[in-house]
Amino acid sequence: MKQHIQPAEGKLGILIPGLGAVATTFIAGVEAVKKGIAKPIGSLTQMGNIRIGKRTENRNPAINEFVPLAQLNDIVFGGWDLYEDNVYESALNAKVLELPLLHSVKEELESIKPMKAVFDQSYVANLDGVNIKKAATKYELAMELIADMEQFKLVNNCSRLVMVWCGSTEKYIEQTAVHNSVKSFEQGLKDNDDLIAPSMIYAYAALKIGVPFANGAPNLTCDIPALIELAKETHTPICGKDFKTGQTLMKTIVAPGLHARALGVSGWFSTNILGNRDGYVLDNPANFKTKEVSKLSVLDEIFKPELNPELYGDMYHKVRINYYPPRGDNKESWDNIDIFGWLGYPMQIKINFLCRDSILAAPIVLDLALFMDLAKRAEMSGIQEWLSFYLKSPQTLEGLPPEHDIFKQLIKLQNTLRHMMGEDLITHLGLDYYQELVDSM
């Protein structure tokens, strides 16, 4: 049965904490696409198709014609940053996009000025800015964020908002008592509890007023019982963590293939160099730890060594990130994969990916924002596991192992869209109509 989905009427405000390389590449890209001077490559919502019905029916509509998504022309952007640069200046600084493209959308980008950030340097030691809110308690900071959102919505005449965290990776923290319920969390906000990170304050503010929240960094952020409870209470979708780009994207493409053919893996060494501000932040060990935990979780979940000890029980997995300024946003990664096959004979795979981090991340921001808005209009609240496709460290309900295999993630995403629209789910069995075809020959 088709779910009831509110139409995407009016303007959608995409609000972004952290107007750095990813966010500015995303915003400039959307503005350029709106003007018809570039294509939204890498975005499933803009360029992907979805099969409906049997293979014999040849029905493959574009995703954005199949589900009611917000149109790019109806999007407005806003955000917060601890630096005062407008989006044009920040994009110049990030050095991801070429000058001619940036010039063509200069006016639109210059008009987006960051609101004052909720920032705490103890969470991102390598940054130091001035565009920061001052208040006596974290609770007051959350209320100021709510006021920012309400003001933005009014001034820009938006009917809906979504928030996507594109801020820096915060230092590693673990879940503790203050994160356990809305009650303890709100008390913690009033008591200025050290273990409430700035990203959690943004997530709290968004969820409190029913604004969907997606987390593009590996921080804990909304992956805590208090904010899951709040999301349910206010009927708001959440998802996270950590945009799946670059090396991890490659891992979740290659590893399911090796696993599918029952090939063994004895070691997977991943190293990379990058020189953008993200790399500078991750140069701090406390911040790198957050990223490392996110990146390391992927292979175990795909190979499941406990089920296949002979193939994966001794696998050694190492991930390094090296800050190397000359490369800027153009990351280079190397993977050495030691595998073994028939009778245990060893082989090696080398992957050398010269990628562009923000170019891979920008379409993810767009898709997450549009799908989170769709989920809200379809009255889907809480953790949106079907968006794991976009994330390195997918948020799941407690006790549920995340799915990292990108192909299974895609099937789940597509089946969720089919389910929303009341179409048959596709199992790829095909036996029913295969027999029909044979009989008709």
Given the rule CB under 6 A, which residues bind ligand NAD?
17-23, 80-83, 94, 117-119, 124, 127, 129, 166-169, 198, 216-217, 242-243, 245-246, 276-278, 281, 357-358, 360-361
Of 288 and 312, which has the nearer Cβ to ligand NAD?
Answer: 288
Minimal distance, residue 432 CB to ligand NAD, in Å: 41
> Considering beta carbons, is residue 8 or 96 the nearer one to ligand NAD?
96
Task: Work out how close the CB of 415 gets to ligand NAD at its nearest, in angstroms, rounded to a whole number.
Answer: 25
Cβ neighbour number for residue 120 with a 10 Å cutoff: 18
In three-state secondary structure terms, 354 is: strand
Q: What are phi and psi of 114, to 5 degrees?
A: -65, 135
Sign of the torsion formed by the C-alpha atoms of 89, 76, 355 and 37: negative
**Is there a cis peptide before residue 11, judged by omega within 30 degrees of 0?**
no
Distance CA 301, CA 304 (A): 5
- In angstroms, give the least distance from the CB of 273 to ligand NAD: 14
DSSP bridge pairs for 59? 52
Q: How near is the Cβ of 407 to ligand NAD at its closest, in Å?
A: 20
Q: Distance between CA 372 and CA 388 in Å, rounded? A: 12
Nearer to ligand NAD, 330 or 358 (CB): 358
Is the Cα dihedral 222, 225, 226, 227 positive or negative?
positive
CB of 54 to ligand NAD, least distance (A): 37
Distance CA 279, CA 281 (A): 5
Distance CA 203, CA 219 (A): 12
What six digits make up the tokens of 243? 């945009």
What is the Cα–Cα distance from 310 to 407, expressed in whole angstroms? 24
Question: At which residue do the structure tokens 């945009």 appear?
Answer: 243
CB closest to ligand NAD, residue no:
20
Nearer to ligand NAD, 5 or 146 (CB): 146
Q: Angle 116-121-125 (CA atoms, 0-180°, nearest 5)?
A: 130
353 φ, ψ to 5°?
-105, 115
Name which of 126 and 181 has its Cβ closer to ligand NAD: 126
Tell me whether residue 21 or residue 299 sits nearer to ligand NAD (CB atom): 21
Q: Among residues 199 and 414, whose Cβ is nearest to ligand NAD?
A: 199
Closest approach, Cβ 17 to ligand NAD, in A, equals 4
399: Cβ contacts below 8 Å, ≥ 6 apart:
none
Distance in Å, CB of 164 to ligand NAD, minimum: 10
Q: Least distance (Å) from ligand NAD to the CB of residue 426? A: 30
For residue 52 the two structure tokens come to 């409906």
Q: How far apart are CA 150 and CA 87, in angstroms?
A: 21
Q: For residue 74, what is the DSSP state? A: G
Q: Which is nearer to ligand NAD, 212 or 264 (CB)?
A: 212
Nearer of residues 5 and 351 to ligand NAD, judged by Cβ: 351
- Least Å from the CB of residue 105 to ligand NAD: 18
Q: List, in sequence order, every beta strand (DSSP E) within 258-331.
A: 264-274, 316-323
**Least distance CB 255 / ligand NAD (angstroms):** 18
The smaller minimum CB distance to ligand NAD, of residues 81 and 144, is found at 81
Task: Kindly provide the b/e burial profile for residues 383-398, where b requires at least 16 CB atoms within 10 angstroms of the residue's own CB.
Answer: bbbbbbbbbbbbbeee
